[in-house]
Chains A and B, each alone.
Chain A
Amino acid sequence: MPVQILKEKFTGTVQEVVLGATKEEGGTRSNTVKLGGSSTLPFLQYEGDIPNRPVIALEVLDIKPDWGEAFEPYYGDVWSDPAAWAKKTEELGADVIYLKLAGADPELENSKSADECAKIVKAVLENTSKPLMVEGPGHPEKDNDVLQAVGEAAAGENIAIGLAEKDNYRSIAAAAMMGKHCVIGRSPVDINILKQLNIMIADMGVAPNKIINDPMSSGLGYGIEYSYSIMERARWGALIGDKMMAFPVVCLAGPEAWRAKEAYAPLEEAGPGWGEQKPRGIMWEAMTAASLLQAGGDLVLMRHPEAVKLVKKHIDDLMKPNLY
């Protein structure tokens, strides 16, 4: 007797958001990237459509990071040059480039000005062809200045800028609207604030196909289950028709995974049975990313090229149609 597969019937769809603009669309990217668009839970092709596979962004900073020797062989020669670094991430398989303007943090000595940040963004765009996302330094006033300048510098490129937060979203959303860019709304692992922030951004007049959510990821072993349940709940809301829960989700898997001692500790500082740092760190990041993809991530931000390979292969496997 054939087994009847029970299928959930959903009424809603995750909003599709396009990142980047090709020459025909007024930008200079070689291709655009579509996020979201699903009408089912992650990877359950038999219940609905998943028109766009999840994508991987690689991280680029505008200052030399303290990432340690695990990354030296890959990025050591480009750490001082964000444009070259961005180019390198393309070679290492990035679908999207994620530039964090950490050097504009006003707490730093020689903090970069908004103009300097705009120049970096221009240089990155000139040297690369993939869509770009730009995160400000994470300081409210400076974010507003920097992201406005960035939005102007990247006119026509349909980048994403953020992070817009509940107490500081207006200027960033306005900068996105002015430059016809996307805005990334960040909520602190809080489903209610996630929804409220989306409402406030949408109320400002930002089009639904220009809103991306960062529900704040946690790394494996450090609260990933909270992120998972928030993302799962949001996706469920989207699928039952809550439009304010239906924006594509980005997960900062790399930065969170590598904050864990389990990822970075060298062998001599490792716990019993942890093993060599290199495979351990890579696996820690890959597992974090894989879990966040299962929770509904549409874009995972990653850091280690070997982890990227693993996750790409994993996505390939999961995207094979499982129709019944």
Chain B
Amino acid sequence: MAFYMIGERINGMFNDIGEAVAKFDPKPIQDWAKKQDEAGAAYLDINVGPTAADRVKSMRWMCEVVTEVSDTPIALDSTDYDAIESGLEVCKPGALINSCPAERPKIERVFPMAKKYDAKIIALTMDKSGIPKSADMRVGFAMELVASADEFGLSPDDLFIDPLILPCNVAQDHGPEVLEALRQIRLLSDPAPHTTLGLSNVSQGTPFRPLINRIYCVMAMTCGLDSAIMDVNDDELVDAIATADMLLNQAIYCDSYAKVFRKS
């Protein structure tokens, strides 16, 4: 089992990308695509950001400019499914739809779209009422999502289930619940669904972001986490993931294991 690092940097929330999207300037976007590729990203997340005037048009354009410089599959990050579909039309098969909650109308929109474009889905363990507090509720949503995958002709491992971590300084009690949910989600089906986290969330608003991110990521990996949306250019974080991957016997040790991890 590999660990899939999803590079979070091409997001309009960041000033340089926001400006690039506004001006349709490909350079900063392509620079970050290359930089994240070099760091070993398995997917490049693309989010047009809050300021884009036309999300459908911007998403498509961002996917096009990234595809020009990178073969890495794209994670199309939007709540606007028309924007995602416009991106999928120009992406290679194997893209990732980010994301779909456990809400029936959204499942009915997103899952057939994934099937049509041979894409995978980041599926969130939440519904309209928001993020559940307990592990059990998260696993319940995960079960619904896995059943929906089957219903729409997808394999369980076409899903990256995200049990949703919240900032530790706001909702500290969620930390262990997410870990427990990760443990159980891995047991829901064979093949097991993938799991992912918006890792940087856990440290939001704290002065110790890299430390908290990497410690929580390693803790989550021992519970079965096999992907994260993250800062792939945080070398210490990637080293920690490579080391955890090796210590969990997922990768065969060799002296260059951390370097090889970034290439695999």
Contacts and interface: CB of A to CB of B under 8 A. Distances in A.
Interface of A: 9, 11, 191-193, 195-196, 199, 233-234, 237, 240-245
B260 interface: yes
Specify the main secondary structure of chain A where it touches its partner. Answer: helix
16 contacts: A191-B252, A192-B253, A193-B254, A195-B253, A195-B260, A196-B254, A199-B259, A234-B252, A240-B1, A241-B2, A242-B251, A242-B264, A243-B264, A244-B254, A244-B264, A245-B252
Contacts of B252: 191-192, 195, 233-234, 237, 242, 245
CB-CB nearest 9 A-B residue pairs = A195-B254, A196-B254, A192-B254, A237-B252, A192-B253, A199-B256, A196-B255, A195-B252, A241-B2
Contacts of A240: 1-2
Specify the main secondary structure of chain B where it touches its partner. Answer: loop
B140 interface: no
A196 B254 CA distance: 5
Nearest to A240: B1
A200 to B, nearest CB: 8
User: How many of chain B's residues touch chain A, expressed as a range?
Assistant: 10 to 19
B205 interface: no
A223 to B, nearest CB: 20
Interface in B209-264: 251-256, 259-260, 264
Interface of B: 1-2, 191, 251-256, 259-260, 264
Nearest to A203: B256
A199 B2 contact: no
A241 B264 contact: yes
A243 B191 CA distance: 22
Contacts of B255: 192, 196
Nearest to A198: B254
A266 to B, nearest CB: 43
B264 A196 contact: no
Contacts of A9: 191
Nearest to A243: B264
A241 B250 CA distance: 10
Contacts of B260: 195, 199, 244
A11, A193, A196, A243, most chain B CB atoms within 10 A? A196
Nearest to A8: B191
Nearest to A237: B252
A244 B129 CA distance: 47
A196 B259 CA distance: 11
A196 B252 CA distance: 10
